[in-house]
Amino acid sequence: MLLSIAGIDGSGKSTQVREVLKRLSRFPLKVECAKVDFHATLSIFDLANHLRGTPDDYHPWIPPVLREFTVACDVLRYSQDKLTQLVERCDVVLWDRGPLCYRSYASAYGVTDRHVSVIYDLVAKPDLTILIDLPAEAVVERIMMRGEKPAKMDENLEFLRVVRQCYLDIARKDARCIVINGERATAAVTDDILSLCRERIPGLGVLHYQMP
Ligand SMILES: Nc1ncnc2c1ncn2[C@@H]1O[C@H](COP(=O)(O)OP(=O)(O)O)[C@@H](O)[C@H]1O
Ligand SMILES: Cc1cn([C@H]2C[C@H](O)[C@@H](COP(=O)(O)OP(=O)(O)O)O2)c(=O)[nH]c1=O
Mean pLDDT by 10 residues, the chain (212 residues): 97 98 92 98 98 96 98 98 98 97 98 98 97 97 86 92 98 97 98 91 59 54
Using alpha carbons, select from 163, 168, 189, 144 the residue that is nearest to residue 19. 189
Quote the ligand 1 centre to 67 CA distance (angstroms): 26
Q: Are 194 and 130 in contact (CB under 8 A)?
A: no
Report domain extents, the chain: 2-37+64-202
Sheet architecture: strand order including 177-181: 31-34, 92-96, 2-6, 128-133, 177-181
Whether ligand 2 lies within 6 angstroms of the CB of 9 is answered as yes
Q: Is 15 in the pocket of ligand 1 (CB under 6 A)?
A: yes
Nearest 10 degrees: Cα torsion 113, 116, 122, 126: -110
Question: 2-37+64-202: what CATH class?
Answer: alpha beta
* C-alpha 13 – ligand 1 centre gap (Å): 7
| Nearest Cα residue to 81 out of 115, 122, 43, 117 | 122
3-state helix, strand, coil in the chain (%, to 5): 55, 10, 35
- The predicted pLDDT at position 79 comes to 98
Distance 196 CA to ligand 1 centre (A): 20
